Amino acid sequence: MNINLNQRKAIVCGASKGIGRAIAFELASLGSNVTLLARNEESLRKIKDEIEKKFGGKHDYLSIDFSQNKQTRDQIEKYVSAKGPFHILINNSGGPPAGLVHKAQMEEFTAAFSQHLLTNHLMMQCVIDGMKSEKYGRIINIISTSVKQPVPGLGVSNTIRGAVANWAKTLAGEVAEYGITVNNVLPGSTETDRLWEVFKSRATQKNVTFENIVEHEKQIIPAKRFGKPEEVAQAVAFLASPSAAYINGINLPVDGGRTGCL
């Protein structure tokens, strides 16, 4: 099985912590040159240094605020023109705040749509020509199992994640002939800051302790535990590899079996 990513260049969004950070390390371990994207420049610099110390190679980072679409496009177009072409794009961004959908404000939907779907779209447009010229492209979106089964208490997130999944499926059908695949990875409950924030919000809503929520959530997962960022990263790395060339347009849950549908 060929999972070698030597001579492949990757952009990993949201790479300063959690799942994004784990993906950056995993791709680098397979030989990819990785560019880390997030807002926190200090964190990005430290992670870049860690990756180079552990795996060697030449890696890079770009401090960027995905809430500013025009600025993001300008920065990415300039960077890709200087450093591209890129073969792998990992679209990954922190989810919208937890909350009930019927209480969500219009501005919450607008902000989430911009940060997730519109940012993914402009990132894709910045790298797609290079992928076509290289006849190799992997666009992988880190979304949520909510695209298959909505998660209670995540009204805005459920809505926007579904839009991203359908955008990706449409794109997958348009670019496959150029050697480009587009897939979605759907993490379940994964040990990240985001998970603890959701659980704290849920505990407040239900007027129970945080510990009660944690134990309940573990019990509804067949594996009886939460996932690790590295486990999500390994699934992503496979989809980014040459061996996944005929896997296109799928939603892949990495959730310990929690999602109750096929």
Give residue 30's pLDDT. Answer: 98
> What are 74-101's pLDDT values in tens digits?
999 999 999 999 999 999 998 888 889 9
- Whether the bond between 150 and the residue before it is cis, its omega within 30 degrees of 0, is no
Work out the number of other CB atoms within 10 angstroms of the CB of residue 137: 25
The pTM of this model reads: 0.96
Fold of 9-188+229-254: Rossmann fold (3.40.50)
Helix (H) or strand (E) holding 24: helix 18-29
pLDDT in tens, the chain (262 residues): 999 999 999 999 999 999 999 999 999 999 999 999 999 999 999 999 999 999 999 999 999 998 888 899 999 999 999 999 999 999 999 888 888 999 999 999 999 999 999 999 999 999 999 999 999 999 999 999 999 999 988 999 999 999 999 999 999 999 999 999 999 999 999 999 989 998 998 899 899 999 999 999 999 999 999 999 999 999 999 999 999 999 999 999 999 999 999 8
133 vs 91, 137, 143, 237, CA distance in Å?
21, 10, 27, 22
> What are 169-179's pLDDT values in tens digits?
999 999 999 99
Instruction: Please give the Cα distance from 18 to 43 (Å, whole number).
Output: 12
